[in-house]
Structure 1
Amino acid sequence: MSQEPAPGPAASLKRPPLRTTVRELLLERILAGRYGPGDRLVEYRIARELGVSQAPVREALRDLEAMRVVDIRPHVGARVRDLPVAELAAAAPVRAALEETAARLAARRLPQLPDDLDRLRAHLDGMRAAAAAGDAPGLARHSVAFHRQIVASAANPVLLDVWNALGVELHTALGVRDAPVPLGYGADSHQPILDALAAGDAETAARLSGEHAQLWASHPAGRRC
C-alpha cells in the first residue's frame, strides 16, 4: 500500500480516501480474529507495514473508535474492544427505527432521483456478484452502501449522522460472517426494498426496511445484513 503520485480528477472520484482503505483493512483483520480483544493497534507499526504515513492510520483508528470497535486512551493507545452480541443486538431496534424512517422519506423522493436509484441498483448488483464469488466482506460493503444510500436519499442530515454513529458497517460485517444462510439470500433480500422505493411506495418501503434491520436482532447468532 505504498503511496502513489496524485491521481487525476476522474481517478480521485473512484478511489476511496486512504483512511477508508486503512480502516477497512483493520476492520477485516479484527473480524477475522487476526487482532483479538485487548490487542494493541500500534499506529507507527501499522503505518510502517502498510507503507503509509501515520496520519491516515490515526484517522482510521478514530473511525474505528467511533464505531466502538477500538478504545483509544491517552498514553496507552488503541486496543481492540470486545464485541459482545448483546451490545450489537441493543443497537438493532434503533437502526430499524432509523432505516424505517429513512425509507419512508426516501421513497417520496427517489422516483424523481434516477441517479440515486441507479446507485442502489449498482450496489444490489455488487451484492449479488460478491455472493456468487463467496466474498462475504464484499457483500457486507455493498450492503452497507445500499442502506447508506437510502438514508442519504432521505435528505435529512441529522438522520444520516445518527445512522453513521451506530457503526452499521461493523454490524453488517459481523452479520454476514455469522449468518447461517447462503450469501445469496442476503443479497436477494434487498430486492423488495428497492422495488418499493422505486415505486414510491413509502409505507411498504418503510415496513420492509424496518423488518430487514430487525432480522439479526431477533437471531443474534445468525444476524443478516
Structure 2
Amino acid sequence: MPPSRPDTRKGTLPKLQPLEAKTLVDQVVDAIVEATATGVFLPGDRIVEAEVARSLDVSRVPVREALRILESQGIVVSSRYRGMRLMDVSVDRLEKILKVRTVLEKLAAEEVMAGLKDDPDLLAPLEDIVDRLHAALKREDSYGVARLDTEFHRTLCRLSGNDVLLHMWEPLARQLTIIFGLSTLQKDLTAIIEEHDELLARLKAGDVDAAIAQVQIHILDYARALDYEGLVSERRSARDK
C-alpha cells in the first residue's frame, strides 16, 4: 500500500493534542539558533557556556544540555583545543548540505504531486505558510521569514507521506534556519518570498518536470549566488573593530 498522507480537507482532522510549553532547554536552543541566524553569533564563533547562561539569565545546566542537542544536529562542533564553536558555513559545507536537500526535496515534490491526484487540497498547508511569509515580509521580520522558509520545506517533505524522507531531512532543519537567516542579511526579503510563490505555483500547476526543476533552482542555484563566507567575514570585521 502507498504511504498515507495527511488529510488537509476541512472538517477531517481528528482532535489534536494541545501543544506543550517549551522546556527551558528548548528555549535556550531556540535562542542560540536565532542569535546565529540573525548574525549576533557568527559561524565559527566560540560558544562559552558561562557567557550564554549569563546573557540569557539562566543556569549553566540548560545551556550545557542545549549545546549537546545542537552538537548532535551539527550546529556546534566541539574540539579538544578549540572548545565549542558554531558550525562553519564554508562553500564546501554549504554545497554538501544543499546537494542533500535537493535530492530529498525533489523526491518530496514528486511524491506530493502524485498525491494531488487523490487529494486536490494537499497543498493547503503550503499555501498557508506562503501567506504567513507574506505577512512576515510586511512586518520586515527577517528571522520570521527564515523560520517560515524552514517550515515550508519541512511541510513539503511531510506532505510527501514518506516518513523515511522526512526523518532524513529533519536533522538539517536548524542548520537550514541558520542558513536561511544569514541569507536574509544579504538578500532582499521580497525575492525570497517570490521564490516560494513560484515554487508553490509550479506544484499547483501539476507539471512534475517543471516543479522538480524549480526545486533545484530554488535550493541550489539561488543559494550558490550568495556569498555566505564574505558576509560572515564582513560582519566579523565590523564587530571586532
Shorter-chain-normalised TM-score: which range?
Answer: 0.7 to 0.9
| Structure 2 match to 1:168 | 176
CA displacement at 1:44 relative to structure 2: 9.0
1:194 to 200, 204, 207: 200
| Structure 2 match to 1:177 | 185
Contact 1:131-1:139 within 8 A present in 2 as well: yes
Distance 2:122 2:73 in 1: 26
Amino acid of the structure 1 residue aligned with 2:68: R
Could you give the per-residue CA deviations for residues 17-60 of structure 1, whole angstroms, max 9, x where no partner exists? 654443221122224443343423316952883447834x4453
Instruction: Give the TM-score normalised by structure 1.
Output: 0.75
Distance 2:38 2:89 in 1: 13
CA displacement at 1:208 relative to structure 2: 1.4
Q: Which moved more, 1:59-68 or 1:118-127?
A: 59-68
CA displacement at 1:120 relative to structure 2: 1.1
The alignment yields a C-alpha RMSD, in angstroms, of: 3.4
Q: State, as a whole percentage, how many aligned pairs show the same letter.
A: 27
| Structure 2 match to 1:42 | 49
5+ residue gaps in structure 1? 1-8
5+ residue gaps in structure 2? 1-14, 230-241
1:87 to 85, 93, 104: 93
Alignment map for 1:1-225 (pairs within 5 Å): 12-13=18-19, 19-36=25-42, 37-42=44-49, 46=53, 49-51=56-58, 54-55=61-62, 57-72=63-78, 78-110=84-116, 112-113=118-119, 117-166=123-172, 167-179=175-187, 182-221=188-227
Instruction: Give the TM-score normalised by structure 2.
Output: 0.71
| Structure 2 match to 1:5 | none
Superposed structure 1 runs of 4+ greater than 6 Å apart: 74-77
Could you give the per-residue CA deviations for residues 168-201 of structure 1, whole angstroms, max 9, x where no partner exists? 222222222232xx21121122123223333444
| Structure 2 match to 1:4 | none
Q: 1:154 to 1:133 in 2, by over 3 A?
A: same
CA displacement at 1:74 relative to structure 2: 7.9
Q: 1:18 to 1:100 in 2, by over 3 A?
A: farther
Could you give the per-residue CA deviations for residues 69-108 of structure 1, whole angstroms, max 9, x where no partner exists? 2113589863324432332133222222221111111111
